[in-house]
Chains A and B, each alone.
Chain A
Amino acid sequence: MYILRHMTPDPITVSPKMLLPEARALLNEYHFRHLPVVDEHQKLVGILTDRDLRSAYPSSIISDSERRLVYERVEETAVSEIMSTECVTLGTDSTLDDALFLFDRDQPGALPVVDNGRVVGIFSIRDLNAAYKTLFGVGEKGAVLIGIHDDGSPTIMTRIVTLLEKERIPFSRVLRIFDKEVGDTIYLRINTFKIAAVLDLLEENDFEVKKG
């Protein structure tokens, strides 16, 4: 659950003194959207996004002469002049859940991971999706999620798991979700093609399978 396992370690960083054309070339070459900006000790001083760069470059609808003027200025502008300095960061002890809350609250595209101020990694919203996909097994080949009505019985989890293990039905995740609107549900990720046989087995054992 720690971010260290899911981040991109040792990301490409830039100096605040780097000029914008060079930073733009880096973003284009590697298809990044975020560049951490660090000082000579690798300490984070800001973050440069492709959006910051787009705003700095001239609009496509202005005249050629105006555009040339803006280009000349942009080419002499350093990263430090347009980067964001108020950066939300993750630490080496941050978890996936910490990242989820930060993405939800501040909606950044990526978060630098810092250790005592030094950049050690970057964690993007894509990394978050990938991590949760793995956690819940979404898109895992050979697996499917089924829902069972949770009647609140204190032994229902034990009974489900015991039944599946006894019948040698491979499963990889059991989630209990309390939800007033659709009703409390236990979700099982089962790993078999023979789904109908599993549903029949559950119903024969008095579990109510949720449809859809």
Chain B
Amino acid sequence: MNLSAPLIIINDQRFLQHDTGGGDHPEIPARLQAIRQALKSSECFSSLSFLSPTIACRKSLLLAHDENWLFRFEESVLAGQTYIDHSDNQVCYDSFDIACLAAGAGISGIDLIEEGGQKNIFCVVRPPGHHAEQSIPFGFCFFNNCVIAARHWQRKYNKKRILIFDFDAHHGNGIQSAFEEEADTFYISIHEHPSFSYPGTGYGDEHGMGEGKGTIMNLPLSPGGNDTDVMNLLENDIAQKLEEWQPEVIIVAAGFDAHIEDDMSGLQYSTELYYTLGKVIKSWANRYTDGKLLSILEGGYELRVLGESVEAYVRGILEE
């Protein structure tokens, strides 16, 4: 393992073991294979180093989830259930362990940043996490990988002013639920308008509650929303908010299902937009967090373009 590589990809063959039952389920192991393949043949492959995560311990999971949910999830898979609560949430015998491993990726990444002198970490994991609530799975997600990472950063390294930026096509309801009443965390999400898209949350007028008032920024785009709309948000609304908020750490919920070829949303992003997103987000890291950046894979389901979209994002991050 080359720890002097400019970007560490945290990934593991075991992520392929989370079996969602075949059929028409879009969240499949081939997603990670497509990404790995695209990174392997990328011109920036020599700048990457691949590393396995450590499994998240119970204590870390409990920073974001109820103990009851941990028991229920584990018991459901051991009892041979094929899904939990809703047929979207397909599981297999190994799913609990693999979800713990996916949750551990962010934690491993943060430890590498804080104790190993790394700056760029991208966790290429499944199952995804941003729809998972404290005690309920939603939309293919069981543990909220981004929230668990945020909590780790807060508790172990005493970081304040946590930012999660989410460019998945779908609103990260689980992240908003976790953050919306807190003053020290900020959630910015660009997603397809909830009237037209799963999970039906993330309206633009939700800004947080109580102490968390003003710490949620939902930026819904109408179906057909494209690169120009995103660039406009990045350069204006978001840039201004970041200047006010001055994040101490940045976590990116990196979903690639807003691509025009991906039918999981009506958004129409190009592959090149993901390159720009990588570049812009990296510039935020340079400005606010001494270049430190943790990205965690969320959605992206069209195998023909998922690999190239992730590769474009990685290229963007690496471009200085």
Please give the residue numbers on chain A whose beta carbons come within 8 Å of chain B beta carbons, in ascending order: 137-145, 168, 170, 191-197, 211-212
Bound complex: CA of A191 vs CA of B200, how far in Å? 10
Residues of B within 8 A of A193 (CB): 88, 131, 139-140, 170, 198-199, 264
Within 8 A of A (CB), among B206-234: 222-224
Additional pairs, 13, CB under 8 Å, beyond known A145-B195, A193-B264: A140-B200, A141-B199, A141-B200, A142-B86, A142-B198, A143-B199, A144-B196, A170-B87, A192-B88, A193-B88, A194-B25, A194-B26, A194-B88
- The DSSP consensus for interface residues of chain A is loop
Contact of B86 among A140, A144, A170 (CB under 8 A): A170
12 A-B pairs with CB atoms under 8 Å apart are A141-B133, A142-B199, A170-B86, A170-B87, A191-B86, A193-B88, A193-B170, A194-B25, A194-B26, A195-B198, A196-B263, A211-B223
Which residue of chain A lies nearest to B87 when distances are taken between CB atoms in the complex? A168
CB-defined interface of B164-208 with A at 8 Å, one 1/0 digit per residue? 000000100100000000000000000000111111110100000
* A195: nearest chain-B partner, CB-CB: B198
On whether A141 and B201 interact (CB within 8 A), knowing A168-B87, A194-B88, the answer reads yes
Residues of B whose CB lies within 8 Å of any CB of A are: 24-26, 86-88, 131, 133, 138-140, 170, 173, 194-201, 203, 222-224, 263-264
The answer on a CB contact under 8 Å between B24 and A141 is no
Kindly report which residue of chain A lies nearest to residue B195, judged by CB atoms.
A145
Q: How far is the CB of B200 from chain A (nearest CB, A)?
A: 5
Residues of B close to A168: CB separation below 8 A: 87
| Alpha-carbon gap, A139 to B198, bound state (A) | 10
Instruction: Quote the shortest CB–CB distance from A94 to chain B (angstroms).
Output: 29
Distance in Å from the Cβ of B177 to the closest Cβ of chain A?
9
Residues of chain A contacted by B198 (CB below 8 angstroms): 142, 144, 192-193, 195
A196 and B264: CB pair below 8 A?
yes
Q: Please measure, in the bound complex, the distance between the C-alpha atom of A212 and the C-alpha atom of B221, giving whole angstroms.
A: 12
CA distance A195 to B140 in the complex (A): 13
For A201, give the chain B residue with the smallest CB separation. B24
User: Across the interface, which residues of B come within 8 angstroms of A191, CB to CB?
Assistant: 86
Quick check: B200 and A144 within 8 Å, CB to CB? yes
Chain B residues, CB < 8 A from A140? 200
Instruction: With CB as the reference atom, state the residue of chain A lying closest to B177.
Output: A141
A31 vs B51: C-alpha distance when bound (angstroms)? 54
Among candidates A143, A195, A212, residue contacting B264 with C-beta atoms closer than 8 Å: A195
Contact A139 B86 (CB under 8 A): no
- Whether B200 contacts A194 by the Cβ 8 Å rule is no
Q: Provide the bound-state CA to CA distance between A197 and B264, in Å.
A: 9
Q: Shortest Cβ distance from A205 into chain B, in angstroms?
A: 15
Give chain A nearest CB distance to B86 CB in angstroms: 7
How far apart are the CA atoms of A153 and B315 in the complex, in Å? 54
User: Does A197 lie within 8 Å of B24, measured CB to CB?
Assistant: yes
Give, as a whole number of angstroms, the nearest-CB distance from A173 to chain B.
12
* Complex alpha-carbon distance, A72 and B194, angstroms: 52
Give chain A nearest CB distance to B179 CB in angstroms. 16
Is the Cβ of A144 less than 8 Å from the Cβ of B264?
no
Smallest CB separation, B217 vs chain A (Å): 18
Bound together, the chains give a CA A143 to CA B195 distance in angstroms of: 9
- Chain A residues lying within 8 Å of B201, measured Cβ to Cβ, are 139, 141
Give the docked Cα–Cα distance between A195 and B223 (Å). Answer: 14
Chain A contacts for B196, CB-based, 8 A: 144-145, 212
Q: Are A195 and B86 in contact (CB under 8 A)?
A: no
Q: Which residues from A are CB-within-8-Å of B86?
A: 142, 170, 191-192
